[in-house]
Amino acid sequence: MAERKVELKVFRYKQGQTPHYDTYNVTVDENTTVLVALQDVRRDQDTSLILRHSCHHASCGTCGMRINGQEQLACVVKVLELGTPTVVVEPLQNAPLISDLVVDMAPFYDRYNTPEMPYIRASEFWPKTDLPDGIAQYTRYENCLECGLCVSACPVAGTDSEYLGPAAMAAAARVVAEPRDSDPEFALNWVDNEHGCWRCHVAYECTEVCPSDVNPGEAIMSLRGALTRRKFRRVFGLGK
């Protein structure tokens, strides 16, 4: 296993103090992720460094950060694959900073919760199978990891603090596509305003960084389409 030395330049901030960057030399091999390298720093060099992490396999969505300026999940980015002698690590943008690489996810979930997003969806994988007795359909978790990478990358979220944001609107679009026990009309009304789907610039920076195939940009377009169709139906008196 080829070990190499790399420099990590990490954004640091402790409450009441001035933000700055600290540089750490770390030894990594081809399996070492940015997350593991940061944990090694914490263990061997600086116990004060904090970051969010949990699942270590792109499932929980907690380890989002900017790595060399790009929003990524630290648990699936290999340090050596970045190919830079210095790797710059910074917290997500457009979320309140708590300390170091930790941001406050409360505003994210405030929005995300609003359309009553069910977390379980029908599984579309291998649809032509039998089902075990007593199981009405195979189910799975929704794609969105709630990582906030899209919100960090979104230029509109950076200028309009009330913008609903790509993840929450993608969640609303999922409710419209597959309501389950939620109300799609409520979700549509919720996004139908100047901080909602009409505010989006449609440059798809969100889709670009999404690690979980959610495609929020496209989801926002689908909400616009659904709202436009609803409006026409109402104007022409074709029911709801």
Minimal distance in Å, beta carbon 52 to ligand FES?
8
Check binding of 204 to ligand SF4 (CB under 6 A).
yes
Measured CA distances, 34 to 18, 79, 88, 112, 172 (Å) = 25, 5, 10, 27, 32
In contact, 224 and 214? CB cutoff 8 Å = no
Output phi, psi for 25, to 5 deg.
-90, 125
Q: Cβ neighbours of residue 67 under 8 Å, at least 6 residues apart?
A: 34, 74, 77, 82, 87, 88, 89
Q: Where are the alpha helices (H) located in the chain, listed in sequence order?
A: 34-44, 79-82, 106-113, 149-153, 155-159, 166-177, 184-191, 205-209, 216-235
Nearer CB in complex with ligand FES: 64/216: 64
Minimal distance in Å, beta carbon 59 to ligand FES?
6
Q: What SS3 state is found at 103? A: strand
Check binding of 117 to ligand SF4 (CB under 6 A).
no
The length of the chain, given as a count of residues: 240
In 3D space, the residue among 69, 31, 32, 220 whose CA is nearest the CA of residue 149 turns out to be 69
**Which stretch in 48-56, 151-159, 177-185, 230-238 sits in contact with ligand SF4 by CB under 6 A?**
151-159
**Which stretch in 133-141, 152-160, 194-202, 223-231 sits in contact with other proteins by CB under 8 A?**
133-141
Interface with ligand SF4 in residues 53-112 (CB under 6 A): 61
For strands 86-90 and 4-12, give the pairing: parallel
Q: Which residues bind ligand FES (CB under 6 A)?
A: 53-56, 58-63, 73, 75
Nearer CB in complex with other proteins: 62/200: 62
Q: Which residue has the tokens 């050596």?
A: 80
| 217 contact, one of ligand FES, other proteins, ligand SF4, none, CB 5-8 Å limit per kind | ligand SF4
Furthest C-alpha separation in the chain: 69
Q: Which residue has the tokens 């709202």?
A: 227
Nearer CB in complex with ligand FES: 33/207: 33
One of 210, 223, 226, 227 touching ligand SF4 (CB under 6 A): 210
Minimal distance in Å, beta carbon 89 to ligand SF4?
18
Residues that bind ligand SF4 (CB under 6 A): 61, 144-150, 153-156, 166-167, 170, 200-206, 209-210, 212, 214, 216-217, 220
Residues that bind other proteins (CB under 8 A): 1, 14-17, 31, 33, 36, 39, 43, 47-48, 50-60, 62, 75-76, 98-100, 102, 105-106, 108-110, 112-113, 118-120, 123, 125-126, 128-132, 135, 138-143, 212-213
